[in-house]
């Protein structure tokens, strides 16, 4: 048994990291879907690239707090700027979002190509992430020679963010529920809807930046939106939906990893593809169910 | 941090010159292609914008990726037409899904867009990583369509690009009236018997085509901006759709010009991001400086209105002071004015000086005095104010306290014509509801300002 674990240690680390990434994304995504802010999730996950690059250029490190700070800042700026373009520039909401995130992402890519070689980032890793290399970048407690290997850096960053996300949902469950399902009721009850909007955007930024190492900037969108949307189709309550979304995410991780090993393709992309296929199966199942119900209704009528 | 050194190399200038001497025929081709693309994408993107589907281009561009990869897997070739057909097919499937999901399931349109976008992109990336693990020829350069690389384009690519964009522009010109009608008033178009489904399909096809040919130049990730941003900027400049489309096309072409220049001078630079950045700069410039709708112009107009209101209020205060003195004197000290209209002395001075510049007040030993023109203007304003108060009192059944505030606002914008109408409708034009006399209209009461 112990030899099995030792042989597959890196696989286990990859799976653990991917699971945490996918579940955190799915939990946050549930609120994005309910608040009809999926496109904002798309936008923030793109802009976060600029946040990471800027934070790295200004501080010269890739320490977690710095990256988290940069990403949260740029995520909030994205949300705020697209809102103000909508209000001041009299633009449609999605147009405002589109202009802001493409600009931020473009600047991020340009900076990466300008300082290629000096930043530990390239266009490839922006797209795919490097989940396959996650086990090699570990945190060591103590000195280099005989310290204790605590496991991959990416794992610990997403673990911290996962804990944050979980705690926020746990503590603010009631508020989030009211704000998501009935924003005008929430406003009339004296809940600060704007605050919770930006709170949610902060969670999205945190999750995307912690997932960045593992799955890259764009595939995060798939993990944010797709499992949550699948859960949305089936769930009857918010709690139910959160559990279902997490379940969908975990199944996608396991099947996606198997698919990637089989095809020798990118792990993160395969996970996202599997999430999509699961959604497809759900939709097909629901459609068949609907047809059956219709047929039965026709029969009873006839 | 080490600076970016490429632009400091001495031969950049020469390179640039040689570009404009058209020595490099390939660079010229790329330039032509990108200009056409910038225009075509901007024009067709405008219609997507008007249909309130600004981000459809984003989703369709991402959806093209698996098509390109599948086409390559099937034919093992990078022939532009094969790539084009593959991309077209998968973009169209994406378009269908975006349309189908919200209609048949609980999923909302924005989520459908995000789902399609991210799923197709993931599928494309998975296939790409799979291809890169295979032992096939020609596979290098496939990943260039992610961010776009003008320098990597072949003459065949550009020829295809030119055909398609010219086709797009022609179709738009041909169906312009129908497209415009559908974009602005669907119901009306339907009632005229226009086949909306057909034209929507044509429009979708054109958008997909523009997106697909743009991939090589701009890349999958940023194609959305090339469709969307020119229109967002152009609509600030005009209210006429034809003019807007023309401006959008020009802005698109301009950004294409800038980005291909940069990509030519520094071949490592991806073209797409630079195109997006130049478009964003053009957008911000339009947002600030456009006549009428620009933010600066709007701020300037608001400022002017504020000044006008403040000065007119001041004139009315002076008139009231005259009234109190039974029109014996027209000169008052600052303290007297301040007693009636509370504001800091410095601001009062500024406004008085501006009035003096217009010849409405002048300096005198006691302080300030109304000139003849100023008195005329002041009585005109007071007349409007009090007429409106009487009107509201008679017709709207409001208390005198309420009507004063209303009249404070309307006196600045009431025209002569309107005040004459009010006069005709009122039973008495002698005094206002507060019992103060309404100044008579003077012979030349034409609006002096």
What is the average per-residue pLDDT within B236-264? 89
ipTM confidence: 0.89
pLDDT digits (tens, 9 = 90+) for B278-306: 999 999 999 999 888 888 988 999 999 88
Residues on chain A touching B47 (C-beta within 8 angstroms):
none
Residue A24, in any domain of the structure = yes
Residue A231, in any domain of the structure = no
What is the average per-residue pLDDT within A14-31? 92
Measured between alpha carbons, how far apart are the two ends of chain B, in Å?
60
Residue A170, in any domain of the structure = yes
pLDDT score of A171? 92
Q: Residue A110: which CATH number?
A: 1.10.3470.10
**Confidence at A37, pLDDT banded by 50, 70, 90:** confident
What is the average per-residue pLDDT within B47-71? 88
Say if residue B154's pLDDT is above 70.
yes
Say if residue B105's pLDDT is above 80.
yes
Residue A5, in any domain of the structure = no
Instruction: Report how far residue A47's alpha carbon sits from residue A75's, in angstroms, rounded to the nearest whole number.
Output: 7
Most confident of the ranges A250-254, B366-370, B401-405: A250-254
What is the average per-residue pLDDT within A101-112? 89
Instruction: Report how far residue B334's alpha carbon sits from residue B362's, in angstroms, rounded to the nearest whole number.
Output: 13
Q: Which residue, among B96, B148, B187, has the nearest Cα to A109 in the 3D structure?
A: B148
Residue A97, in any domain of the structure = yes
pLDDT score of A241? 94
Which residue matches tokens 């309404």? B438
pLDDT score of B250? 94
Residues on chain B touching A57 (C-beta within 8 angstroms):
1
Residues on chain B touching A42 (C-beta within 8 angstroms):
114, 117-118
Q: Which residue of B has its CA nearest to A259?
A: B126
Q: Which residue of A has its CA nearest to B223?
A: A102
Q: Which helix (H) or strand (E) holds B61?
A: helix B56-75
pLDDT score of B444? 44
Mean pLDDT of chain A: 85
Strands B367-370 and B331-332 turn out to be antiparallel
Q: Is any Cβ of chain A less than 8 angstroms from the Cβ of B268? A: yes
Which of B1, B49, B115 is closest, CB to CB, to A225?
Answer: B115
Q: Is any Cβ of chain A less than 8 angstroms from the Cβ of B54? A: yes
Which of B58, B118, B276 is closest, CB to CB, to A272?
Answer: B118
Which residue matches tokens 């000065």? B311
Residue A152, classed as helix, strand or coil, is strand
Chain B: nearest CA to A254, how far in angstroms? Answer: 16
Total structural domains within chain A: 1
Mind spelling out the 3-state secondary structure of B219-287? CCCCHHHHHHHHHHHHCCCCCCHHHHHHHHHHHHHHHHHHHHHHHHHCCCCCHHHHHHHHHHHHHHHHH
Q: What is the DSSP letter of B390?
A: H
A263–B123 C-beta distance less than 8 A? no
Residue A285, in any domain of the structure = no
Residue A261, in any domain of the structure = no
| Domains of chain B and any CATH numbers | 6-291 (1.10.3470.10), 294-449 (1.10.10.10)
Q: Which residue of A has its CA nearest to B5?
A: A114
Which of B54, B236, B273 is closest, CB to CB, to A92?
Answer: B54
**Confidence at A146, pLDDT banded by 50, 70, 90:** low
B273–A109 C-beta distance less than 8 A? yes
Of the listed ranges B131-135, B140-144, B248-252, B320-324, the one predicted with least confidence: B140-144
Which of B129, B146, B232 is closest, CB to CB, to A99?
Answer: B232
**Confidence at B1, pLDDT banded by 50, 70, 90:** very low
Q: What domain range includes position A45?
A: 10-135+150-220
Residue A131, in any domain of the structure = yes
Which of A36, A103, A127 is closest, CB to CB, to B277?
Answer: A103
pLDDT digits (tens, 9 = 90+) for A229-284: 999 999 999 999 999 999 999 999 999 999 998 988 888 889 999 999 999 999 99
Quote the crossing angle between the two packed helices B196-218 and B271-289, to the nearest 10°: 120
pLDDT digits (tens, 9 = 90+) for B317-367: 888 888 887 777 777 887 777 777 777 888 888 888 888 888 888 888 777
Of the listed ranges A62-76, B134-148, B257-271, B320-334, the one predicted with least confidence: B134-148
């Amino acid at each position: 048994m112990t030899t099995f674990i030792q042989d597959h240690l890196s696989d286990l680390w990859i799976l653990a990291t991917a699971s945490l990434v996918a579940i955190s994304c799915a939990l946050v995504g549930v609120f994005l879907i309910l608040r009809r802010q999926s496109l904002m999730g798309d936008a923030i996950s793109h802009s976060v690239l600029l946040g990471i690059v800027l934070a790295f250029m200004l501080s010269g490190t890739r320490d977690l707090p710095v990256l988290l700070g940069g990403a949260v800042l740029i995520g909030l700026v994205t949300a705020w700027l697209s809102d103000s373009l909508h209000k001041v520039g009299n633009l449609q909401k999605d147009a405002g979002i589109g202009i802001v995130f493409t600009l931020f992402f473009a600047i991020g890519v340009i900076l990466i190509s300008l300082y290629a070689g000096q930043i530990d980032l390239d266009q490839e890793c922006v797209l795919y992430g490097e989940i396959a290399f996650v086990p090699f970048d570990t945190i060591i407690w103590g000195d280099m020679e005989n310290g204790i290997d605590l496991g991959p850096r990416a794992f610990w960053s997403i673990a911290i963010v996962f804990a944050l996300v979980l705690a926020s949902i746990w503590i603010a469950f009631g508020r989030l529920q009211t704000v998501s399902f009935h924003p005008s009721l929430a406003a009339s009850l004296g809940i600060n809807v704007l605050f919770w909007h930006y709170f949610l955007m902060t969670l999205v930024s945190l999750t995307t930046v912690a997932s960045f190492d593992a799955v890259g900037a764009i595939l995060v969108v798939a993990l944010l939106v797709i499992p949550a949307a699948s859960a949305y189709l089936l769930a009857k309550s918010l709690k139910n939906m959160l559990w279902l979304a997490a379940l969908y995410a975990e199944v996608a991780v396991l099947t996606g990893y198997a698919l990637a090993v089989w095809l020798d393709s990118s792990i993160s992309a395969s996970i996202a593809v599997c999430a999509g296929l699961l959604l497809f199966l759900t939709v097909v199942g629901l459609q068949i169910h609907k047809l059956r119900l219709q047929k039965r209704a026709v029969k009873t009528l006839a | 941090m080490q600076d970016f050194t490429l632009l400091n190399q001495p031969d950049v200038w020469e390179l640039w010159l040689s570009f404009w001497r058209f020595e490099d025929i390939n660079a010229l081709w790329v330039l032509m292609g990108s200009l056409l693309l910038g225009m075509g994408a901007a024009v067709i993107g405008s219609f997507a914008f008007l249909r309130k589907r600004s981000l459809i281009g984003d989703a369709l561009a991402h959806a093209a990726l698996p098509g390109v990869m599948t086409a390559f897997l099937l034919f093992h070739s990078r022939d532009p037409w094969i790539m084009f057909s593959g991309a077209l097919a998968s973009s169209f499937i994406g378009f269908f899904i975006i349309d189908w999901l919200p209609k048949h399931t609980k999923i909302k349109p924005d989520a459908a867009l995000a789902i399609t976008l991210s799923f197709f992109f993931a599928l494309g990336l998975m296939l790409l990583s799979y291809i890169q693990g295979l032992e096939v020829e020609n596979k290098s350069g496939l990943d260039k369509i992610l961010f776009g690389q003008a320098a990597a384009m072949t003459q065949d690519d550009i020829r295809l690009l030119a055909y398609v964009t010219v086709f797009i522009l022609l179709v738009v010109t041909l169906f312009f009236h129908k497209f415009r009608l559908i974009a602005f008033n669907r119901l009306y178009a339907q009632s005229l018997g226009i086949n909306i489904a057909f034209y929507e399909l044509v429009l979708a096809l054109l958008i997909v085509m523009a997106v697909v040919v743009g991939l090589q130049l701009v890349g999958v990730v940023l194609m959305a901006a090339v469709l969307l941003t020119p229109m967002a900027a152009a609509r600030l400049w005009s209210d006429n759709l034809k003019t807007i489309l023309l401006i959008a096309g020009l802005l698109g072409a301009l950004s294409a010009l800038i980005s291909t220049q940069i990509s030519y001078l520094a071949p490592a630079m991806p073209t797409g991001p630079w195109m997006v950045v130049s478009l964003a700069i053009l957008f911000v410039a339009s947002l600030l400086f456009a006549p009428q709708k620009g933010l600066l112009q709007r701020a300037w107009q608001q400022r002017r209105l504020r000044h006008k209101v403040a000065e007119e209020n001041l004139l009315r205060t002076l008139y009231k002071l005259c009234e109190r003195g039974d029109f014996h004197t027209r000169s008052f000290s600052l303290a007297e004015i301040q007693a009636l209209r509370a504001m800091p002395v410095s601001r009062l001075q500024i406004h008085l000086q501006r009035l003096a510049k217009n010849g409405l007040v002048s300096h005198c030993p006691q302080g300030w005095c109304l000139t003849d023109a100023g008195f005329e203007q002041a009585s005109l304003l007071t007349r409007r104010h009090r007429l409106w108060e009487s009107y509201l009192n008679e017709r709207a059944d409001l208390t005198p306290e309420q009507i004063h505030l209303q009249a404070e606002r309307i006196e600045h914008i009431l025209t002569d014509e309107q005040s004459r109408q009010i006069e005709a409708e009122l039973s008495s034009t002698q005094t206002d509801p507060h019992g103060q006399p309404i100044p008579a209209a003077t012979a030349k009461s034409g609006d002096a300002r």
